[in-house]
Amino acid sequence: MMRGTVGVVAWHGTTLRKTLHSFSAPSSSAFLGPNLPDVWVARDHTSLPSHFPETLQWENGHNAVILDGKSIAKQIKLKVADEIRRMKSGIGKFPRLAVVLVGDRRDSHTFIQVKLKACDQVGIETVVVQLPKKCTESELLDVVSSYNDKTDVHGIILQLPLPQHLDEEKIINVVSPEKDVDGFHPSNIGNLVIRGRKPFFVPCAPKGCIELLLKHGVEIKGKRAVIIGRSKIAGLPTSFLLQRHHATVSMLHAYTKNPEQITCEADIVVADVGIPNIVRGNWLKKGVVVIDMGANQVKDPSGHGFCVSGDVCFEEAVKVASAITPVPGGMGPVTISMLLSNTLDSAKRAFGMIRNFE
């Protein structure tokens, strides 16, 4: 009897394996499309194009408004610092942010230093956990989980990219959505894309973009917005957010043919490509508002060291745009200030000072 039962189980097992192979319903992942890398073809971006249409430029005397991210970031920081000061004196509490870093990439260290300094300036306490490059997934998951459990930690950021052996998606999924101040958790992203729903956090770069536009009185509703580049942390969520603000949004990427034919119809252009100066003046409509999310390290023209360059050829774009962010000093500082603002919001929620999402 016992052997018979075992036999049946084995037979089931065989059938199951056989069934596994012969089941032929279309693979569900086929519906999600091929996971192709976005490889942009860099164009010549050192010289001005010979066909740059001078006629598109404004008449003499026009000056594009420079969307000064530094000063807006400064305002936000002052506000956040003031709130934290009052929080401390009022209830004796303050926000805490945990930064998790794996390995010792130089750029990651630099980014973290910028974040830590900003936190320090406004009164957010930080703790940095650095794990060795070869740490296991489970070690990393344990660290993240431990900060999920700590009630006195209000935000957790996982410095990306992770070393290749770690499953980024899996780790991000473990960060509690209520402490996910980067806004990358699928449930936060899901609640970002659907109108009427409220994520705990909106990712910092898209939030910074909206802040810059709103602060400068740029109307979004009904405008045509084109996002060039669809990174998970910037371009893609920015497209969602602009759509929630009722812009008509087109999302361009490395497989878009003739992107300039689409960008030249846009009232708002957001560049998130990662190639210096790829967006030329002749890609733009007169009067466009340009948000440059690029932060590319390029050789300094002086020949000494490196400097940061945007994705937009500023010298050309400034001649046709009605407003434009500089690089550096545009999106960068505002993005950092949004991290502070998200962390403060999280602490306020934890302390019962705001409801879920106000």
Q: Rule CB under 8 A: which of 224-253 touch a second copy? A: 224, 230, 232, 236, 240-241, 243-246, 248-253
How crowded is the C-beta side of 65, counted as CA atoms within 13 Å? 16
> Which among 10-18, 48-56, 143-151, 318-326 is the span making contact with a second copy, rule CB under 8 A?
10-18
CA 350 to chain centre: 24
Nearest CA to 208 out of 338, 94, 303, 78 is that of 338
CB of 222 to a second copy, least distance (A): 5
Catalytic residue selected from 115, 179, 207, 223: 115
Q: Taking the alpha carbons of 346, 352, 357, 358 in that order, is the dihedral positive or negative?
A: negative
Instruction: Tell me, yes or no, if 70 is annotated catalytic.
Output: no
Which 70-89 residues touch a second copy, going by CB under 8 A?
A: 79-80, 83, 86-87, 89
* Shortest separation between residue 258's beta carbon and a second copy, angstroms: 10
Given 68, 179, 180, 182, which residue is catalytic?
182
List 68, 159, 180, 207, catalytic entry? 159
Q: Catalytic residue at 297?
A: no
Does position 306 interact with a second copy (CB under 8 A)? The reply is: no
Size, binding site for a second copy by CB under 8 A = 82
Site string for a second copy, 199-218 (x = CB under 8 A): ---x----x--xx--x----
Instruction: State which residue, 280 or 348, has the beta carbon closest to a second copy.
Output: 348
Q: Which of residues 89-108 bind a second copy (CB under 8 A)?
A: 89-92
d(CA 347, CA 52): 50
Which residues sit opposite 131 in a β-bridge?
A: 102
CA distance 281 to 57: 9
The only residue of 1, 2, 36, 39 in contact with a second copy, by rule CB under 8 A: 36
16 near a second copy, rule: CB under 8 A:
yes
159 is catalytic: yes
* Neighbouring residues of 65: CB distance < 8 A, sequence distance ≥ 6: 216, 322, 323, 324
8 Å CB contact between 289 and 267: yes
Q: How far is the CB of 321 from a second copy (least distance, A)?
A: 21
Q: How far apart are CA 106 and CA 49, in angstroms?
A: 35
What does the alpha-carbon distance between residue 323 and residue 267 come to, in Å, rounded to a whole number?
11
In angstroms, the CA 170 to CA 354 distance is 30
Q: Is 154 in the site for a second copy (CB under 8 A)?
A: no
Least Å distance, CB 180 to a second copy, is: 11
Stretch that binds a second copy, among 32-40, 143-151, 291-299, 308-316 (CB under 8 A): 32-40
Picking from 220, 214, 216, the residue whose alpha carbon sits closest to that of residue 246 is: 220
Whole-Å CA distances, 217 to 142, 146, 213:
45, 43, 6
Which of 4, 33, 61, 217 binds a second copy (CB under 8 A)? It is 33
- Using only the alpha carbons of the chain, give its radius of gyration: 24
Residues 169-198, one symbol each (x = binds a second copy by CB under 8 A, - = not), give x---------------xxxxxxxxxxxxxx
Catalytic residues: 115, 159, 182
